[in-house]
Chain A
Amino acid sequence: MTSPGNGLIKAATTPLILVVIVGLLLAFIPLNELILQLLNGLDKGSAYALIALGLTLIFGTLGVVNFAHGALFMIGSFCAVTLSRILSLSYEVIDPERKDFLGNPLKVDVPYVEKWFGEATGAAIIDWAVPLAILFAIPVMIAVGFIMERGLIKHFYKRPHADQILVTFGLAIVLQEIIKALYGANPIPTPAPEVFKGSFDFGVWMGFDANKILYPYWRIVYFLFSAAIIGAVFAFLRFTTFGMVVRAGMADRETVGLLGINIDKRFTMMFGIAAAVAGLAGVMYTPINSPNYHMGMDFLVLSFVVVVVGGMGSLPGAVLAGFMLGILQSFASMNIFKDIIPGIDQIIIYVVAIIILLTRPRGLMGRKGVMEE
């Protein structure tokens, strides 16, 4: 497909563009602004990276293009909503000490959790619903992933990629509509614990003036959390026997199968893990962005772009591209860039994706032979 001869130019294009971008940034923007935007991009980048990581796990292991992955992210988010609703289930009691304006005793809602664990502990548990939802979401997401793989995806290994895209797209619509039917169409704000309200002043910490670089605590938590998850996935693949077998299977499925290893079973488990990664990304994202039924589709398009930019089948590529695009997006939303190219904040990701796809067909770190037919 590619014409030979200008290979050198092509290979040099992407680094050259990157160098030019970085140079421009340093020349025109004060350092504190630069750091602020870098930080701003991190949380979005973390979300992209986590979803893209899961998508790439599925590509790499099963060879399936999963358009329902955004829906898994959404289900994770709604796990947090569900848990916070369950925790704040309450019953009515008559409070004899407080009266309403007619002098009748007031009815007060008391959550069951407060009854069982005492008032202070109960309130704290409700307050910590989102982090607690991680524990709740892991089994749920693994179960969802397991059912999806065994029930649907399994039958599509041998079918063309177009069919896989189509059926998972259909599944994404179904999941989205189920969520809409259960939770309604409006966004459901789900706050982070009280401790994480407010912002951390990076500016003071780094020696700038106060209030120059403010960063909400929860975003720091989100970034650290996703870094931990990404680290855990990589460590799992790198250092466990299970991970070794899976990596071997990614490289050559048939040979591993011939060695007498039940690779299908392991791949199914990998699907569950990928679903859990997407779900956890969703759980922790709830305080940043109120869950709504179409968030999955919104993130899906972007995360596909991320995966393709990172290179299909490359896990480090997905993570790198996720953070890169998230940060680029936050840079592009600065006024200095919007003045030069109006609307750049809206389209930067797509522009980058198009440039990278055309100059580096396999993305930034793509492996040979993945999705190339």
Chain B
Amino acid sequence: MLGLTKKDTTLLIVVAILSMCAPFILNPFPEGSALAQFNAGYPDLMQRFVIFGIFAVGFNLLFGLTGYLSFGHAAFLGVGSYSAVWMFKLLSMNVLPAIILSVIVAGLFSLLIGYVSLRRSGIYFSILTLAFAEMSFRLAYSVLTPLTNGETGLQLALDDPRILDGGGTLTSLPVTNLFGLEMRSTYTLDVAGWSFDFSVGYYLCALILIAAFYLSIRIFRSPFGLMLRAVKSNQQRMMYTGLNPRPYTLAVFVISGMYAGLAGGLMASMDPLAGAERMQWTQSGEVVLMTVLGGVGTLIGPVLGAGFIKYFENIFSKINDTVLHGWFEFLPDGLENLIVTILHPFIGKGWHLTLGIMFMLVVTFLPGGLVDGGKRIGNLLKRKKAPDETVTPNTNPAE
């Protein structure tokens, strides 16, 4: 179907179902119950899952296929956000032109950076992209203030021209929409204690994620994808066969930059503001973490990794000592306090510690990421079954 093999089609359908039913899946606990804090089914968070999923899928196209580790991808995210917000300020509150512009601008920007950075490989490439991104961040923060509004960040204003919407006469800030469908509008379905939110913004993001995911599968399976794998495995040999790897790597760099720009544009579409801190290198580090955690070079890995990290960032960081005391109430007082004290640094504001440890463990023991972990567990279960069948007859003949 759609030019995919059966396995890939299944994967795409799984992603589609997961993203379409996310409001149900992420809200497994009834409202008001003790476990309701683990519910992640509110529009803000779901949008973040999906947007960072797109970002990570794009990053994985570069890193997973070619092995070029870019530490500056946040620059494209930031550029995308800025251009989207400018589109809202100048043209209209419709998200479509904003998203298109952010993809184009990010593409051009990544063409520029990629053209220069790809002259080097390995760690030199990482440092070059890092340098470019830090430079963009610093510039956005200081000199380019007319364009980026410096440290305050770019926001909508009442007197923006908004040519198509005929702005300037408004009394309150307009909201982003898609041909009249407001991004913010949410339909809440209450079913016997559960409440599910269906937000227009989320569904737009989810549809784009499915499209982006489909495109990434096609790139993975195309001859172009094969070329990129060749770049990763042995560039020297590739050049000896008369192929120049540069156009391929540049093309994939631009594509992944456009993915990042798309994510940035969506981010601004859901919440129309853009700040320089989106371009900081820690943000680039985060997308690397997501991709590696999920599984570099796998199709679904980056999406899983993005979801995982964003879930922990938002849910884990909300757990505080009071909640912990609630959980361990049944224990004797001293033991309860001891456990809470031990767990305290790992939760709430300290969740980064958990993330760092988890990340180290994954890189050390599970280089393939969560996807690889899942596969290994699957294999383990299969293997356990197999020996059982062969071992059983051997138990008797001892006599």
User: What is the interface of chain A, defined by CB distance below 8 A to chain B?
Assistant: 1-2, 65, 152, 155, 159-163, 165-167, 169-174, 176-178, 180-181, 297, 301, 304-305, 308, 312, 342-343, 346-347, 350-351, 353-354, 357-358, 361, 371-373
B123 near A171: Cβ-Cβ < 8 Å: no
Cβ–Cβ contact B124 & A347, under 8 A: no
Provide the residues of chain A in CB contact with B355, threshold 8 Å.
173
Is A174 within 8 A of B353, CB to CB? Answer: yes
* Chain B residues, CB < 8 A from A304: 127, 130
Instruction: Please determine whether B352 and A173 come into contact, CB atoms closer than 8 angstroms.
Output: yes
Other-chain residue from A2, A177, A305 in contact with B356 (beta carbon distance below 8 A): A177
Complex: chain A residue closest to B246, CB-CB: A1
Tell me whether B364 and A351 are in contact (CB under 8 A). no
Distance of A367 from chain B, by nearest CB (Å): 14
Q: How far is the CA of A342 from the CA of B144 in the complex (A)?
A: 9
A165 interface neighbour in B69, B121, B132, B360, Cβ under 8 Å? B69
B161 within 8 A of partner (CB): no
Query: What separation, in Å, do the CA atoms of A177 and B347 have in the docked complex?
Result: 11
Q: Assess whether B357 is interfacial by the CB under 8 Å rule.
A: yes
Please give the distance in Å from B307's CB to the nearest CB on chain A: 19
- Whether B119 contacts A167 by the Cβ 8 Å rule is no
Residues A308 and B124 in contact in the complex (CB < 8 Å), given A163-B367, A177-B356: yes
A152→B361 CA distance, assembly (Å): 10
- List 12 contacting pairs A-B, 8 Å CB cutoff, sorted by A: A165-B69, A169-B359, A171-B356, A172-B356, A173-B356, A181-B353, A343-B143, A346-B138, A346-B139, A347-B134, A358-B119, A371-B123
Q: Mark B64-97, 1 if CB is under 8 A from A, else 0.
A: 0001010000000000000000000000000000
For the complex of A and B, the 7 pairs showing the least CB-CB separation, nearest first, are A343-B143, A173-B356, A177-B353, A174-B356, A346-B138, A170-B360, A170-B359
Q: Is B178 an interface residue (CB 8 A)?
A: no
A166 touches B292 (CB 8 A): yes
Q: Which residues of A contact B350 (CB under 8 A)?
A: 177, 180-181
| Contact B356 A181, beta carbon cutoff 8 Å | no
Q: Does B220 contact A (CB under 8 A)?
A: no
User: 1/0 per position for B338-362, CB-CB distance to A under 8 A?
Assistant: 0000000100001011011101100
Q: Which residues of A contact B130 (CB under 8 A)?
A: 301, 304-305
Q: Determine the distance from Cα of A210 to Cα of B334 in the docked complex, in whole angstroms.
A: 66
Least Cβ–Cβ distance between A362 and chain B, in angstroms: 9
B360 pairs with A361, CB closer than 8 A: no
B251 interface contact, C-beta 8 A: no
Find out whether the CB atom of A165 lies under 8 angstroms from the CB atom of B126.
yes
Cross-chain contact A161 with B122 (CB below 8 angstroms): yes
Chain B contributes a number of interface residues (CB within 8 A of A) equal to 42
- Give A169's nearest chain B residue, CB to CB: B285
In the complex, B211 has a CB within 8 A of chain A: no
Q: How far is the CB of B14 from chain A (nearest CB, A)?
A: 27
CB-contact partner of B132 in A173, A301, A354, A371, under 8 A: A354
Chain A residues lying within 8 Å of B134, measured Cβ to Cβ, are 301, 347, 350
Closest to A352 in B: B131
Known contacts being A301-B134, A305-B131, A350-B135, is A357 close to B120, with CB within 8 Å? yes
| Chain B nearest Cβ from A45, distance in angstroms | 18
- Answer yes or no: B288 CB below 8 A from chain A CBs: yes
How near does chain A come to B130, taking the closest CB pair, in angstroms?
6
B109 in contact (CB, < 8 A): no
Contact partner, B116, options A166, A181, A350, A358, Cβ 8 Å: A358
B233 within 8 A of A: no
Identity of the chain B residue whose Cβ is nearest the Cβ of A175 in the assembled complex:
B356
Instruction: With CB as the reference atom, state the residue of chain B lying closest to A65.
Output: B123
Q: Which of A155, A161, A347 gathers the greatest number of chain B CB atoms within 10 Å?
A: A347
Q: Which residues in window 240-264 of B have CB below 8 A to A?
A: none
CB of B363 closer than 8 Å to a CB of A: yes
In the complex, the answer to whether A1 meets B131 with C-beta atoms within 8 Å is no
Q: How far is A2 from B119 in the complex, measured between Cα atoms in Å? A: 8
Interface membership of B141, Cβ < 8 A: yes
**Would A343 and B138 be within 8 Å (CB), given that A1-B119, A170-B359, A373-B122 are in contact?**
yes
Which residue from B123, B132, B288, B345 sits with its C-beta under 8 Å from A312? B123
On whether the beta carbons of A372 and B126 are closer than 8 Å, the reply is no
Query: Hey, which chain B residues are within 8 Å of A173, CB to CB?
Result: 352-353, 355-356, 359
Q: B131: which of A152, A178, A353, A372 is its contact (CB, 8 Å)?
A: A353
Against A, the Cβ 8 Å flags (1 = close, 0 = not) of B131-159 are: 11011001101111000000000000000
Which chain B residues border A169 with CB–CB below 8 Å? 285, 288, 359
Min CB distance A71 to B, Å, is: 11
Interface 1/0 per residue, B281-301 and A, CB below 8 Å: 110010011001000000000
Contacts of A346 in B (CB 8 A): 138-139, 141-143
- Inter-chain contacts of B345 with A (CB < 8 A): 177-178, 181
On chain A, the residues within 8 Å of B288 by CB distance are: 166, 169
On whether the beta carbons of A357 and B127 are closer than 8 Å, the reply is: yes
CA distance A174 to B358 in the complex (A): 10
Q: How far is the CA of A155 from the CA of B361 in the complex (A)?
A: 12
For the complex, what is the distance from the CA of A358 to the CA of B113, rounded to whole Å? 12
Contact check, B143 vs A354: say whether CB atoms are below 8 A apart: no
Closest Cβ neighbor of A182 among chain B residues? B345
Distance A110 CA – B143 CA, assembled complex (angstroms): 51
Pair B127/A1 contact, Cβ less than 8 Å: no
Bound complex: CA of A305 vs CA of B127, how far in Å?
Answer: 7
Cα A353 to Cα B134 with chains together (Å)? 12
B126 touches A297 (CB 8 A): no
Nearest to A166 among chain B residues (CB) is B363
| 10 additional A-B residue pairs with CB within 8 Å, beyond A343-B143, A347-B135 | A2-B119, A162-B63, A162-B67, A169-B288, A173-B352, A173-B353, A342-B143, A357-B128, A361-B124, A371-B123
- Restricting to B266-314, which residues have a CB under 8 Å from any CB of A? 281-282, 285, 288-289, 292
Contact between chains at A171 and B132 (CB < 8 Å):
no
User: Counting chain B CB atoms within 10 Å of each CB, which of A172, A177, A372 scores highest?
Assistant: A177
Q: Residues of A contacting B120 with CB < 8 Å?
A: 1, 357-358, 361
Cβ of B116: which chain A residues have Cβ within 8 Å of it? 354, 358
Instruction: Name B138's closest neighbour in chain A (CB-CB).
Output: A346
A166→B141 CA distance, assembly (Å): 27
Residues of A contacting B357 in the complex (Cβ-Cβ under 8 angstroms) = 170, 174
- Name the one of A65, A163, A358, A371 contacting B363, with C-beta atoms under 8 angstroms: A163
**Closest chain B CB from A47 CB (angstroms):** 18
CA distance A165 to B130 in the complex (A): 13
CB distance from B292 to the nearest CB of A (A): 6
CA distance A371 to B122 in the complex (A): 7
Check A167/B360 contact, CB under 8 A, given A354-B128, A357-B127: yes
Residues of B within 8 A of A351 (CB): 135
List of B residues within 8 angstroms of A353 by Cβ: 127-128, 131
Q: Nearest chain B CB to A364's CB is how many angstroms away?
A: 14
B109 to chain A, nearest CB (A): 15
Residues of B within 8 A of A170 (CB): 289, 356-357, 359-360, 363
